[in-house]
C-alpha cells in the first residue's frame, strides 16, 4: 500500500502542471482576448478551460493543457442564451421559435420607447395619470367593431381573467367538443377550476347544439363559453352552436357569452392552402359579449392577450385584481400599437412578417428555393429542390397546408448536420424528411439563404462554428 502506480503518477503530474488562473490570464494566447471582453468573463472562461482539462485528466485522457482552448470557452460564454434562430422549418408561428417576428415599425417603436421614458401612464394633454391600455384601445375598437378593449400578458391570462372576473363561484357552460388543451399544459377544465368556476359540459365530442346549452342554464350560470378549436379539427359528423345562436340564448337568459378565439385574425387571411379563420369582427358582430385572442399568432404582433367586447364587461375586467398581475409592459404596448397601425393603413399583408410569409405566392417561394439551391451549389454541396407544404403553427389553422418549396441537402447525414446547425451561430433549424435535411424557404429572407448555405458548408467541411 502507498505505492503509486505509474498511471497515477502521470495523472498527478499533469494535474500539477495545470496553470493557475492568474498565470493563464497572462499567457500570450489568452491576454489579448481581454481587449474585446470583460475581465470577469475572461476569468470565467479560464476557469472553465482549466476545469475541463482537469476532468479530462481524471477521466484518463493524458494531454498537456492547451491555452488556446480558452477562446473556445469564451465564445460560448460570451454569446447570449437567447439568440436569433434562422427558421427553415416552414412553420410560420413556431411557438418554440418565438412565434410572430415583429414588423420593422414595431421593432423601431420598441427601441424608441425602451431607450428612455415614455407616456405609458401619463395623459400628456391633461397632465394627469393615464391608462397604459388607452394607447391601443381606440385602434382595437376600430379594427374589431367592439365597444372597448383591454390587453393582458397573453391569451391564456385573458381567459383566466375573464372566467375569474365574470364567473367565479358560478357555472360555465361549454361544449364537450371544446374542452381543449391549448398547449404547454393549458387545459380548459383546469383553467376553469383555477378560476373558481364550475364546469358544466354539454353535448358530445362531435355534436353540440344550442338546445344543449339552453337545457343547462340555471340561476347559477355565470357564462356561456365558446372555445375556438384552434389547434385541432373535428371532421365528419359534426355540429356546433354558432356564436350568434349562443349570443341570442345568452341575451334571452341573461348570461354573457365569452368566446376564446385563440389565434384571432383581425382581417381575413387569403393565401394558397390556408383555411378560413373567423375574424374578431365577425364574432363581435355575431353578438359575443367578450372575445379573447393572442397578439402573437395570426395578428402577427407581440405576445399579448387581447380582450375586446362590451364596455361594462371590459370595465369589470379592468378593475379585477388579477389584471394588475397580468398587465402588459411598455414594450408590448409599443409593438402592439405599431402592429395595429399596419391594419389601419391597409398594409398588414406587406408589413407584418407573419402575414407576408403566410401569403407568399408559390412562384415567389420557388424563386427563393432557387436562390438557396444556387447558394448550396456555389458551396459545392449537392442538393435538390422539393415541393413541400408549410404549416401555420401556433395552434392556428391545423388543417392548412400552404404549398411551399424546400431545398434538400443530399448525401449528408441529416441528424448530425441538424445538430451542428442548431449548435452554431447563427443557429439554423430545419426539418428532417426521409433521412434528409430539408430547408423550407417560406420563413427565409434571401440573406438568410446565403447564411444557411455557408453554415451548412462549414459544418460539412468540419470547420469550427
Ligand X SMILES: *Cc1c(COP(=O)(O)O)cnc(C)c1O
Least CB distance from residue 27 to ligand X, whole Å? Answer: 49
Q: Residue 408 is inside which H or E element, if any?
A: strand 403-409
Sign of CA dihedral 343, 349, 353, 354: positive
Q: Which CB, 296 or 440, lies closer to ligand X?
A: 296
Q: Of 149, 175, 179, nearest to 162 (Cα)?
A: 149
Least CB distance from residue 340 to ligand X, whole Å? Answer: 16
Q: Which CB, 260 or 436, lies closer to ligand X?
A: 260
Rounded to whole angstroms, the Cα distance separating 244 from 236 reads 23
Q: Which CB, 250 or 394, lies closer to ligand X?
A: 394
SS3 of residue 329 by DSSP: coil
Least CB distance from residue 399 to ligand X, whole Å? Answer: 14
Q: Which residues bind ligand X (CB under 6 A)?
A: 154-156, 159, 182, 227-228, 230, 260, 262-263, 294, 305, 395
Q: Which CB, 156 or 166, lies closer to ligand X?
A: 156
Answer yes or no: are the C-beta atoms of 306 and 292 closer than 8 Å: yes
Q: Which CB, 256 or 302, lies closer to ligand X?
A: 302
* Number of separate helices (H) and strands (E) present in the chain: 19, 17
Least CB distance from residue 183 to ligand X, whole Å? Answer: 7
Q: Which CB, 53 or 307, lies closer to ligand X?
A: 307
What's the length of the chain?
Answer: 465
Residue nearest to ligand X (CB): 262
Least CB distance from residue 337 to ligand X, whole Å? Answer: 18
Answer yes or no: are the C-beta atoms of 333 and 373 closer than 8 Å: no
In which residue are the cell numbers 381573467 written? Answer: 161
Q: Which CB, 182 or 408, lies closer to ligand X?
A: 182
Least CB distance from residue 167 to ligand X, whole Å? Answer: 16
SS3 of residue 211 by DSSP: helix
| Residue 197 cell numbers, joined | 368556476
Answer yes or no: are the C-beta atoms of 394 and 297 closer than 8 Å: yes
Answer yes or no: are the C-beta atoms of 193 and 160 closer than 8 Å: no
Least CB distance from residue 96 to ligand X, whole Å? Answer: 12
Rounded to whole angstroms, the Cα distance separating 151 from 283 reads 18
Amino acid at each position: 500500500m502507498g505505492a503509486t502506480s505509474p498511471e497515477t503518477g502521470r495523472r498527478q503530474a499533469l494535474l500539477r502542471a495545470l496553470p493557475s488562473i492568474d498565470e493563464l490570464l497572462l499567457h500570450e494566447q489568452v491576454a489579448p482576448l481581454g481587449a474585446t471582453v470583460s475581465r470577469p468573463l475572461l476569468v470565467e472562461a479560464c476557469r472553465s478551460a482549466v476545469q475541463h482539462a482537469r476532468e479530462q485528466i481524471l477521466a484518463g485522457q493524458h494531454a498537456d493543457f492547451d491555452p488556446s482552448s480558452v477562446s473556445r470557452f469564451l465564445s460560448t460564454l460570451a454569446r447570449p442564451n437567447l439568440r436569433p434562430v434562422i427558421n427553415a422549418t416552414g412553420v410560420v408561428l413556431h411557438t418554440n421559435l418565438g412565434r410572430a417576428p415583429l414588423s420593422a415599425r414595431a421593432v423601431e417603436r420598441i427601441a424608441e420607447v425602451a431607450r428612455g421614458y415614455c407616456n405609458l401612464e401619463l395623459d400628456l394633454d391633461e397632465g394627469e395619470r393615464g391608462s397604459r391600455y388607452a394607447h391601443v384601445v381606440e385602434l382595437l375598437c376600430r379594427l374589431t367593431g367592439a365597444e372597448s378593449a383591454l390587453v393582458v400578458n397573453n391569451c391564456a391570462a385573458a381567459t383566466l381573467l375573464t372566467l375569474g372576473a365574470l364567473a367565479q363561484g358560478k357555472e360555465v357552460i361549454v361544449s364537450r367538443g371544446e374542452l381543449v388543451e391549448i398547449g404547454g399544459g393549458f387545459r380548459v377544465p383546469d383553467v376553469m377550476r383555477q378560476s373558481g368556476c364550475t364546469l358544466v359540459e354539454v353535448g358530445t365530442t362531435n355534436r353540440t347544439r344550442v338546445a344543449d346549452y339552453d337545457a343547462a342554464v340555471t340561476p347559477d350560470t355565470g357564462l356561456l363559453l365558446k372555445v375556438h378549436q384552434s389547434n385541432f379539427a373535428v371532421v365528419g359528423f359534426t355540429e356546433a352552436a354558432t356564436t350568434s345562436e349562443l349570443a341570442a340564448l345568452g341575451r334571452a337568459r341573461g348570461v354573457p357569452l365569452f368566446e376564446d378565439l385563440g389565434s384571432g385574425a383581425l382581417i381575413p387571411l387569403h393565401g394558397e392552402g390556408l383555411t378560413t379563420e373567423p375574424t374578431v369582427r365577425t364574432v363581435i358582430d355575431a353578438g359575443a359579449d367578450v372575445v379573447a385572442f393572442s397578439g402573437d399568432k395570426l395578428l402577427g404582433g407581440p405576445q399579448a392577450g387581447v380582450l375586446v367586447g362590451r364596455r361594462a364587461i371590459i370595465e369589470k375586467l379592468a378593475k379585477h385584481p388579477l389584471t394588475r398581475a397580468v398587465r402588459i409592459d411598455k414594450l408590448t404596448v409599443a409593438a402592439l400599437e405599431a402592429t395595429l397601425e399596419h391594419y389601419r393603413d391597409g398594409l398588414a399583408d406587406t408589413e407584418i412578417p407573419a402575414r407576408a410569409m403566410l401569403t407568399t405566392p408559390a412562384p415567389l417561394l420557388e424563386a427563393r428555393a432557387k436562390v438557396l439551391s444556387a447558394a448550396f451549389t456555389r458551396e459545392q454541396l449537392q442538393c435538390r429542390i422539393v415541393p413541400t407544404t408549410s404549416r401555420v403553427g401556433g395552434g392556428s389553422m391545423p388543417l392548412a397546408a400552404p404549398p411551399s418549396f424546400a431545398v434538400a441537402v443530399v448525401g449528408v447525414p441529416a441528424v448530425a448536420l441538424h445538430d451542428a446547425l442548431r449548435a452554431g451561430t447563427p443557429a439554423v433549424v430545419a426539418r428532417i424528411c426521409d433521412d434528409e435535411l430539408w430547408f423550407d424557404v417560406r420563413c427565409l429572407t434571401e440573406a438568410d439563404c446565403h447564411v444557411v448555405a455557408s453554415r451548412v458548408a462549414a459544418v460539412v467541411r468540419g470547420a469550427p462554428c
